[in-house]
Structure 1
């Protein structure tokens, strides 16, 4: 099995054709979009997905949907997105309403608070938090699902040879089974919940999932829902010291509640080689940091370490494993 993983990494390294990277302003795909209009970013190896690149890598006929963290931009995961495109994915890094962290529900009495807030952002709707004292309403036009549909329709019109329409069904809805959903922090939590609600190609979480209810001293209720996506398609890559959203100990409780440690223990990527004993939970201690509080520089560094583009060479094997295992 190690030989197979090494071969997959080799394929990633021989993808020589250029990855095309370009922005799309959300309102250009739908004039009804009025908020969070910073660009989506698109990554595609045009020669690969149109069948004209002869280097052993094939079009996966899968879309990687990247969802950024709170306050993030669509281009935050450039290194990861370019690698995915060279592995045969079409890639959309989506801008969406991301100013409210899910941790706003961390002290709610409602065990469904995290799920309600996330689903309002994912599919549009209304949610309350802080025990009903505050409200969030996201229109269908502004939500993740509608923005993705409009982006894919726009891309199909502008770049038909790349076949972006394959990620939509005949009725115009999302073809989730052809989509790998990934994200960091808030976006990683959205990715995991989408994987619970829809059967997707895979789920990739970085610095996530962080939904732990401090008031109830329990992981979010939605982790225990019946999952439309098999749990062996979920992967999580985190830093051992990451305190953002919940403590490192609570994060591991979340991952176990999600069912990712049921048969294979976590892998330590700093000391293990590909394929990381086929673990679904991956951990690093790089870089070593000093944590003086959840808003300290050390905390921010640990929280973002697993996805930072400046670490792309270090994490190439890990990312390739997560994208292809």
Structure 2
């Protein structure tokens, strides 16, 4: 009876969230992080997993929300476009309640010029551990993604999730990384040291160096992901627009793949979030989702 009740509650939650698809071939799952790793805290918002069971060999799109963002429901129209373009989707819950721009400032930045890169390394990989944030090693983005894929491989055999794993790491050449704000920066940080299928940064942050006037040194690192696989956006009305454009160029993103958004911001909207929420950009989303060799 308890198991039946749990199933009823899960289905009710999915219906309320608008996550049950009319397409019988489409699976949409909400998975609590603690289900994938007992060390994680109970009660965290769930990961969102969506895929078409008839597209067994589809590439995987991994979404990293911005600061204080939730993995579910996420930017629904963008997610619908991702699925329509033939991808599987994972929207990942991670500890994002504090951003680099909130930690690596003032005295901290002056005393630790490499603060931004060290914090992102901690939050992405879990080590080396720093005192900048309280995240534990198991809280980090890549361990969470790995544990989720391992959980799916065990619990959803029909989904063939093992194809996205390479030992104790994701199989990066099958994965497109994307995110907004803090999450976009995290996607770019990973793509520098792993050769991913693609990376899309939506207004992906503006980490500073110790002087406060220059951008963080980690942006200049050599990237293992080829330039043609990078895309980046910002809205021209964002206060940090010029800084983000300079950062994207420093990262080696080709000029034609740095997209300065210019459509009027929707009533009640925010230019920082327009790139992922305004459906007028659907053709651009489709363009960026085309994989480059």
TM-score, normalised with respect to structure 1: 0.75
The 1:146–1:36 alpha-carbon spacing in structure 2 relative to 1, beyond 3 Å, is farther
Counterpart for residue 112 of structure 1: 114
CA shift digits 1:168-214 (9 cap, x unpaired): 11x33221122111000000000000001111111100111422347
Judge conservation of contact 2:234–2:244 (CA < 8 Å) in 1: no
Counterpart Cα distance in 2 of 1:188 and 1:94: 13
Counterpart for residue 226 of structure 1: 222
Counterpart Cα distance in 2 of 1:228 and 1:287: 36
Counterpart Cα distance in 1 of 2:217 and 2:190: 15
Judge conservation of contact 2:203–2:244 (CA < 8 Å) in 1: no
The 1:204–1:47 alpha-carbon spacing in structure 2 relative to 1, beyond 3 Å, is same
Counterpart for residue 83 of structure 1: 81
Alignment of 1:139-178 (within 5 A): 139-169=136-166, 171-178=167-174
**Aligned with residue 305 of structure 1, among 262, 274, 278:** 274
Counterpart for residue 122 of structure 1: 124
**Aligned with residue 74 of structure 1, among 44, 59, 71:** 71
CA shift digits 1:61-97 (9 cap, x unpaired): x211100000000022222222222222221100001
How many equivalent pairs are there?
263
Q: What's the secondary structure of 1:236's corresponding residue?
A: strand
Q: What's the secondary structure of 1:97's corresponding residue?
A: coil
**Cα RMSD after superposing both structures:** 2.1
The 1:240–1:18 alpha-carbon spacing in structure 2 relative to 1, beyond 3 Å, is farther
The 1:305–1:36 alpha-carbon spacing in structure 2 relative to 1, beyond 3 Å, is farther
Counterpart for residue 5 of structure 2: none
The 1:35–1:282 alpha-carbon spacing in structure 2 relative to 1, beyond 3 Å, is farther
Q: What's the secondary structure of 2:49's corresponding residue?
A: strand
Counterpart for residue 288 of structure 2: 322
**Aligned with residue 233 of structure 2, among 217, 233, 237:** 237
Counterpart Cα distance in 1 of 2:26 and 2:77: 11
Unmatched 5+ stretches in structure 2: 1-22
Unmatched 5+ stretches in structure 1: 1-15, 50-58, 129-134, 266-278, 291-296
CA shift digits 1:40-60 (9 cap, x unpaired): 0011112222xxxxxxxxx43
Counterpart Cα distance in 1 of 2:289 and 2:77: 13
Shift of residue 289, structure 1, vs aligned partner:
7.5
**Aligned with residue 32 of structure 1, among 16, 39, 58:** 39
Counterpart for residue 283 of structure 1: 260
